[in-house]
Amino acid sequence: LAKTTQPISMDSYEGQEVNITCSHNNIATNDYITWYQQFPSQGPRFIIQGYKTKVTNEVASLFIPADRKSSTLSLPRVSLSDTAVYYCLVGGSNDYKLSFGAGTTVTVRA
């Protein structure tokens, strides 16, 4: 499993855009990049997944440069309810196991 590095914490204010960058220098050719969100005392929730370029859904956008050695999760116009831990994971189709790193604690203030 490719190792990932992301900031430990980020602070933001309501209405701002939050961008969390994850480094994964050892990403393999068949690896996908997946982001999860976890609220306190809850299981993680799948947010978005991508392989290259840009992916957007109703919750977030994921930007992946051509070399795929990093990725950026973008949360548009955050609210207080977006305060959570965000995990970046990298894995491929033959690797069903997930290895969670420390994650990024995002705190949104009023």
- Which residues from 23-82 bind another protein, rule CB under 8 A? 32, 34, 41-46, 49
CA torsion sign for 49, 44, 74, 27 is negative
What single-letter amino acid sits at 95?
D
Q: Which is nearer to another protein, 16 or 101 (CB)?
A: 101
CB under 8 A: which stretch of 11-19, 21-29, 71-79, 99-107 binds another protein?
Answer: 99-107
CB of 17 to another protein, least distance (A): 25
Among residues 64, 87, 106, 108, the one that binds another protein under rule CB under 8 A = 87
Q: Which is nearer to another protein, 41 or 81 (CB)?
A: 41
Under 8 Å between Cβ of 106 and 18? yes
The widest CA-to-CA distance across the chain, in whole angstroms, is 43
* Of residues 33, 79, 77, the one with CA closest to residue 53: 33
Closest CA to 48 of 30, 60, 32: 60
Question: For binding to another protein (CB under 8 A), which residues are involved?
Answer: 32, 34, 41-46, 49, 87, 89, 91-103
